Amino acid sequence: MNEQNLKPFTSAQSHEEAVKNGRKGGKASGEQRRLLSTFKGVAQYVLKMKANDAAVDIIAKRYPDIPREEITNRMALFLAQLSKAMAGDTAAYDRVQTTAGEKEPETNIVVQQNNPENIKESIKEVKELLKDI
């Protein structure tokens, strides 16, 4: 909980205002809990967090134009992939291009079992993907 965002009940507030503020805080807290209840939510939450001091030190040394306070885990992971790509890792290069929006992500084809029509359609998709290779 972020104590800085809490507004204590004071005599300057009416009882109704205090109840309203408490309700807003409860709703925000519930929303945050629901977000964190999914793996995707946890991943998004952690990626938005400020990177640890060791990572910030490394990035600040390598990229001095990036303000230290703006270095998040998402940025640290991207810059790690960028470093690998610059060292010749082609898979890392593909991920950097995809992240930057310069390349469409590869599509995985999923075949639903026990449905001949889906299998036929999937075979057509595979043939279409392979025709240029």
Q: What is the pLDDT of residues 20-43, one digit of tens each?
A: 777 777 777 777 777 767 777 788
6-10, 15-19, 90-94, 118-122: segment of lowest average pLDDT: 6-10
3-class secondary-structure state, position 72:
strand
Q: For residues 119 and 117, what is the distance between their CA atoms, to the nearest angstrom?
A: 5
Q: For residues 48 and 58, what is the distance between their CA atoms, to the nearest angstrom?
A: 18
Query: Does residue 4 register a pLDDT over 90?
Result: no
Global confidence as pTM: 0.51
pLDDT tier for residue 7 given thresholds of 50, 70 and 90: low
Query: Does residue 124 register a pLDDT over 80?
Result: no
